[in-house]
Amino acid sequence: MKSRHLVAFSLGIAAFALVPTLATAVEGTTRLFPAISSEAARLSIHGAADLEAMAPLIRDFQEMAPDIAIEYSDYVTNDLHQKASAACEQNTPLGDLWLSSSLDQLVSLANNGCASAYNSSETAQVPKWANWRDEVFGFTFEPAVFVYNMRYVPAGDVPRTRAELADLLRRRLDYYERRVGTYDIRTSGVGYLLAFSDARQATATYGRLLESMSRADVKVSCCTGSILQEIASGRLYLAYNMIGSYSYAAAKANPDLKVVIPRDYTLILSRGVLIPKTSQRPDLARRFLDYLLSKRGQDVARRKAFFFAEKGDIPEGVDGPPTLGELSFVQPIRIGPALLAAQDEAQRRRFIDDWSHSMLSQPASSP
């Protein structure tokens, strides 16, 4: 029964507290950005970051390095992690640079000896919470947000905290049933990381929200893009824990979509990057990494790619405070050894099993 599953899940998360277009990426889909002038070298990037978000950064880097061609291979997070783990174990090349929003997976790879350390004047400027052992660096500042379609969610219904979202789904279950979306943490690495972080941040509140979403028969998906497309079409009305950069890009393209920064607490992802030990062109990887961390790269990321930044105003039209960097309710997910707990296989399996029982196993009509 749901109550029994919810109790089990609440106990599980209490234990953890103690110890794309927006299309789905196809594994290994690769695009070549030809050198602006005669090609002298080629950099290979394997990333779980939508091509549309990375393209402005790649093109701007090539303005500075016109003789470098760049191959960008786009993955979903779990697929990249599996490929990278296998390449590391077999000591075979898989590109020169790895990018992912699943920070726990990158930290796990680095902990397993898959990364090359790098120091420069640019890496020295990275905040301590976004730099682990000079091997994994965060280069973005992206909030996890609520997204809704204003055609279907009245102004009085718009939630701004998790408690308000849980109350809304209880109060108007008949209206929002099967109209709410979130990540399927069984298939989404970033979805799993956000759920894991939620569970550690606010056990009671998150458990109550899960129960409400279960009653509303929440629809789950691997990828931000597919959920945002469902909201744009009106098949879903709102979504929970979406990546802010992709959500804002969708809202810019469709004025019916609105983005809300939660006010109880806001998880911040810093999309991570590492240089694999098997890189064939570590010199080019270091140049691109320095560019991502540079003032120029950060400015392009804020204006054209990922839209949010630790310093500066939030994007126009986002429902939230004027800035994010100094607010007490902003909770960056620290890149560091604490994330290894998220990748412990036994704990990960238990967490996903408990989440699945709480969210997916019970019909919405059950008492």
pLDDT tens column, 232-285:
999 999 999 999 999 999 999 999 999 999 999 999 999 999 999 999 999 999
236 and 281 in a single domain? The answer is: no
Structural domain contains residue 237 = yes
Structural domain contains residue 215 = yes
Give the C-alpha separation, 305 to 315, whole Å: 12
Give the C-alpha separation, 197 to 125, whole Å: 26
219 and 349 in a single domain? The answer is: yes
Give the C-alpha separation, 363 to 359, whole Å: 10
33 and 87 in a single domain? The answer is: yes
Predicted pLDDT at 25? 43
Residue 28: pLDDT band (50, 70, 90) is low
pLDDT reading at 26 higher than 80? no
148 and 214 in a single domain? The answer is: yes
177 and 189 in a single domain? The answer is: yes
Structural domain contains residue 364 = no
Per residue in 97-137, pLDDT tens? 999 989 999 999 999 999 999 999 999 999 999 999 999 99
58 and 15 in a single domain? The answer is: no
274 and 264 in a single domain? The answer is: no
Write the CATH number for 198: 3.40.190.10
Predicted pLDDT at 17? 36
243 and 176 in a single domain? The answer is: yes
205 and 259 in a single domain? The answer is: yes
pTM of the model: 0.82
Domain count, the chain: 2
CA distances (Å), 135 to each of 51, 115, 116, 300, 328, in order? 23, 6, 6, 23, 28
119 and 193 in a single domain? The answer is: no
Within the chain, residue ranges assigned H as helices are 2-18, 51-64, 77-90, 103-111, 162-171, 173-176, 189-201, 203-215, 224-233, 244-253, 282-293, 295-300, 340-343, 345-360
- In 3D space, the residue among 152, 149, 182 whose CA is nearest the CA of residue 255 turns out to be 149
Predicted pLDDT at 224? 87
187 and 282 in a single domain? The answer is: no
Boundaries of domain holding 218? 2-19+144-268+343-357
* Sign (positive or negative) of CA dihedral 299, 304, 309, 314: positive
Q: Decide: residue 18, CB within 10 A, 0-12 exposed, 13-18 middle, 19+ buried.
A: exposed
91 and 150 in a single domain? The answer is: no
Predicted pLDDT at 223? 85
